[in-house]
Structures are given as C-alpha cells and as structure tokens.
Amino acid sequence: MQSQKTSTPTPDQIRRAPKVLLHDHLDGGLRPGTIVDLARETGYTGLPESDPDKLGTWFREAADSGSLERYLETFAHTCAVMQTREALVRVAAECAEDLAADGVVYAEIRYAPEQHLEAGLTLEEVVEAVNEGFREGERRAREDGNRIRVGALLTAMRHAARSLEIAELANRYRDHGVVGFDIAGAEAGFPPTRHLDAFEYLKRENNHFTIHAGEAFGLPSIWQALQWCGADRLGHGVRIIDDIQVAEDGAVKLGPLASYVRDKRIPLEMCPSSNLQTAAAASYAEHPIGLLRRLHFRVTVNTDNRLMSGTSMSREFEHLVEAFAYSLDDLQWFTVNAMKSAFIPFDERLAMINDVIKPGYAELKAEWLFQQAAATPALASGSATPQA
C-alpha cells in the first residue's frame, strides 16, 4: 500500500496551516470594494474603475509592468483613499481580518506614515489609527475563531528625506504596536546609505529594521544594506543569486556576500509573485527561492502586495508547492524561519513556534492517517482480516 504521507499539501491544508508573514504593505493589500467605498466617502475621483472586480483586475494588470517604478505607480490610488483616521482604521482592521482568515497567525505589516498626511493627519495620528485598526481586526478575527497577532513596521520612502524622522517615530512607538522600521520605493538611484543616519540612530536605540534591497538593483544594494546600514533582514534580497555560481555538474560556489548572508542567517523576505510582476524573476519555477531553500539560506515566503499581485500567503505557498513539489515539512520550515526572524521578543517567537506553528503542522501532517482509515471501510467493519 502506498503511503500518503508525502503527498502534496492540498489548497485546503495550506490555508489551514499556520503561516507567518513578515513582508506585506498595508497600502498594497486593500480590498477592491473598500477602495471604491473610501473613494466615494472621501471624494477621491481618480480611480481608473468604479466596479470592485474591474478595479481589482486593473491593479493586477497595471502592476504587471515588468518594472518596479511602474509597479509602484499603482500605489497613488491606494494612498489617495488612506488619508483619514477612519479610512486607516478600516484598512488596517480588514488587513488583520483577511490575513487571519487565510491562516496567518503572525504578521508584520508595513506602511509609510509620510504618505498619509495629505488631509492633515499628523504622523502620530496615522500610527495610532493603524494600530487601532490592527487591534480591531485581531478582535474580529477572534470572534470568527481565528487567531492572529499583528505588528507594524514603519517605512520611510527612499526617494524622500524623512527617514530619520520616521525612525524616531518607530522608536517612540516601539512598545505601542510598532516592531521595526524599513525603507521602500524605487531602489535604483536611491541606495540604502542615503538613509545611514536613520539606521545608525536605530542601532544606537537597539531597535530593529529591514531594508528593501536586491529587488530592482543587485549586489551593491544588498552589500550596503548589510555592511553599511546593518539591516537585520533583507526585503526581497533575490539578487543575492548573482553571488552564487552553479556549475554544470551542480557544484555550487558562494561568493563572499552570499556566504555572509547564509553564515549569518540573514533572513530573506522573498515575495515570488511580486518579483514576477517587476521582472526580478522570470517564473515561479525559475525563482531563486528554489536554489536558496536547497542551500539552506534563511528563506521566508511573503506576499508583498496582495492587491497588486492578487495573492495571499496561501496562494504564494500554492505556487511554490506547484513549482518545487514542496511538502508540509517545507512549508513548516519556511514558517519557522519567518517566526525566528520576526522583530518581537525571543520568548514570544519561541512560544509561537512551539505552541502554535509546530502543533498546527503536526496536526496537518497526521491527517493522512485518518484519511486512509476512512478510505478502507472493509477493514473498519471487520469483514476483511488483514494478513499479518
């Protein structure tokens, strides 16, 4: 009899598996229907479509542009409707609710407070509104029987000049819903060292940060993020592949930067679908995540922008299962990697791994046993005696 133990996880199992998300933009994950509602309520007339389904399609297609710069243009519409306290609370609450319904148990959601000041909110009011929304979403998730914990990462835009101010904001809200800092936006022409003062400040404060690096620009960006700025994690980091040589016989040689990233267990926040849209990778099967996972880099799987990529954590896992035949053990490995790399305290990360993630996967991994028993009713009724 063939064991089902190693069979491919089903979409339903993937959805029920506990998942951890470290790289997801608040302004890249709105429900299309919410964008339409908020545009009406706030008087924003610039939306390209007014029907939610068509608007969702518009975002996916417009973001499917082959360039990070064009991909980022779509955020003008989401940021436009996220300018009031009520809008931010709603978007954040729905974010937590949607992630929890998808089986995400821990998420770090990022956004750039400086992009939400157009209607007169202060930076503090933006952070407090988003925090309120996350708490509301966690509460609604509990009511629905789901469990999720959400922390915020404050992003500074790399083309702008407010990074030190945003880093100070992140530090001030450190024990109040904010768990770290990030820089995002166009990468080419805006190297991480442009914001060195912000990173040096956070290091002096013993605070945590990640840097978008190695997405639309290569090794120099990753090198700066790590060796000049001291990033705890890399947002994307896919281009680390440029420092890895695979010979025809399969022998692998890591260059000095790739060795450093692997040796120091630098977490890579990989976002496969987003990378296909910005042409940082050609297909799921060719995405560097396959090789990096085999080489035991500290790889994590993320959504980046659920709206623009029409994705979810479950969808990202499904794509990878299809491309690389990953098992539940592989999905657990990605999830434990992500939890180890989170910015919350060590004891909480450990409890999440031991008390939530491992038991969740253990339960899923045991399902084949019971499915098999149910599929052989003759044995259960005793009419067929198994041969010893």
> Which residues fall in the annotated binding site?
23, 25, 27, 185, 212, 304
**What is the dihedral sign for C-alpha 115, 116, 122, 128?**
negative
Instruction: Pick one of Zn ion, ligand NOS, none as the site partner of residue 315 (Cβ within 5 to 8 A by kind).
Output: none
* Cβ nearer to ligand NOS, comparing 14 with 292: 292
Say whether residue 304 binds Zn ion (CB under 5 A): yes
Say how far apart CA 89 and CA 92 lie, in whole Å.
5
Q: With contact defined as beta carbons under 8 Å apart, do 164 and 198 qualify?
A: yes
As measured in angstroms, the least distance from the Cβ of 177 to ligand NOS is 16
Catalytic residue among 94, 114, 215, 269: 215
Say how far apart CA 150 and CA 140 lie, in whole Å.
13
**Scanning residues 272 to 291, which ones bind ligand NOS (CB under 6 A)?**
274
Q: Which of 63, 81, 99, 112 binds ligand NOS (CB under 6 A)?
A: 112
Any catalytic annotation for residue 322? Answer: no
The count of other CB atoms within 10 Å of the CB of residue 231 is 26
CA distances from 378 to 12, 256, 371, 373, 375 (A): 28, 61, 14, 10, 9
CA distances from 351 to 109, 174, 339, 355 (A): 21, 21, 10, 5
Write the binding mask 109 to 138 for Zn ion: x where contact by CB under 5 A, - elsewhere: ------------------------------
Which range touches ligand NOS (CB under 6 A), out of 84-92, 108-116, 365-373, 379-387? 108-116
Say whether residue 211 binds ligand NOS (CB under 6 A): no
- How many residues are given for the chain? 388
CA distances from 332 to 17, 55, 216, 381 (A): 8, 34, 29, 36
As measured in angstroms, the least distance from the Cβ of 271 to ligand NOS is 7
Say whether residue 269 binds Zn ion (CB under 5 A): no
Q: List residues with catalytic annotation.
A: 215
- Per CB under 5 A, residues contacting Zn ion are 304
- Per CB under 6 A, residues contacting ligand NOS are 25, 27-28, 68, 72, 75, 79, 110-112, 115, 155, 184-185, 212, 215, 274, 304-305
